[in-house]
């Protein structure tokens, strides 16, 4: 047997290019998740100043259930739906793609998601997770479905239906709870500077801790096997 036969085959140029593009795509989804988190933190800090004059902007930055409840009576319901749904869908799609790209290590970055690693070992886990996305959407469920290599053509319709339903329910609840939410919104807007400083301090303390944890763990992230879908 010759030395040429013993030597391992060098990866083709095409495979190297695909590998580089794959790594860049994964980092792109990770940067997108960081950007969305920064927008959410920005919306939280600016909540007292945006809640009164610019509730639509607040909803675009942070379309979380509590914000949907707070602005439900301040923004036209159709406008609220049109603003909140695309942003919420984008967040869940980003985490789904992170799960498909990086696998289980990305789930370990999410505290609620670490317990979900045991769920992934069961054959029925995908059905349970899809049902949870239909009823109430969470990022650990998105990542878990990505890890299980769920096909986008299955995940996306379930996500769109579930997110549309939950967004509509939250908007309706916010409008129905107007009388109960009014004292809270008046207090927040009336104590705007103090609330803003408090929220900024909380974010300033929490964000570096989360960022350090993500940085330490993300150094071990590697690309998964090529996607066959």
Comparing CA positions, the residue from 171, 149, 168 lying closest to residue 160 is 168
The pTM (predicted TM-score) of the whole model is 0.75
Residue 10, C-beta contacts closer than 8 angstroms, at least 6 positions apart: none
Exposed (0-12), middle (13-18) or buried (19+): which is 26, by Cβ within 10 Å?
Answer: buried
- pLDDT per residue rounded down to tens, the chain (229 residues): 444 444 444 455 444 444 444 566 667 888 888 888 888 888 888 888 888 888 999 999 999 998 998 887 888 999 999 999 999 999 999 999 988 888 777 776 665 555 556 666 777 788 889 998 999 888 888 988 988 889 999 999 999 999 999 999 999 998 888 777 777 777 777 767 777 788 888 877 776 766 666 555 555 555 454 454 4
Identify the pLDDT of residue 81. 95
Nearest 5 degrees, angle CA 194-CA 199-CA 203?
150
Identify the pLDDT of residue 212. 64
């Amino acid at each position: 047997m010759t030395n040429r036969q013993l030597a391992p085959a060098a990866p083709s140029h095409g495979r190297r290019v695909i590998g580089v593009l794959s790594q860049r795509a994964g980092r792109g989804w990770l940067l997108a998740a960081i950007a969305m988190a920064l927008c959410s933190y920005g919306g939280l800090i600016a909540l007292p100043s945006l809640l009164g004059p610019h509730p639509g902007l607040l909803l675009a930055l942070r379309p979380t259930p509590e914000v949907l409840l707070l602005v439900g009576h301040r923004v036209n319901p159709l406008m609220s739906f049109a603003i909140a749904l695309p942003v919420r869908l984008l967040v869940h799609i980003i985490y789904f793609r992170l799960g498909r790209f990086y696998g289980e290590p990305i789930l370990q970055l999410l505290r609620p998601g670490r317990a979900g690693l045991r769920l992934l070992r069961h054959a029925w886990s995908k059905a349970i997770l899809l049902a949870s996305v239909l009823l109430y959407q969470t990022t650990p469920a998105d990542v878990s479905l990505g890890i299980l290599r769920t096909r986008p053509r299955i995940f996306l319709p379930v996500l769109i239906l579930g997110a549309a339903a939950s967004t509509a329910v939250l908007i309706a609840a916010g409008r129905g709870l107007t009388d109960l939410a009014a004292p809270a919104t008046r207090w927040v807007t009336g104590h705007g500077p103090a609330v803003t400083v408090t929220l900024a301090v909380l974010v300033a303390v929490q964000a570096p801790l989360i960022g350090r944890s993500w940085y330490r763990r993300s150094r071990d992230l590697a690309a998964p096997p090529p996607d066959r879908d």
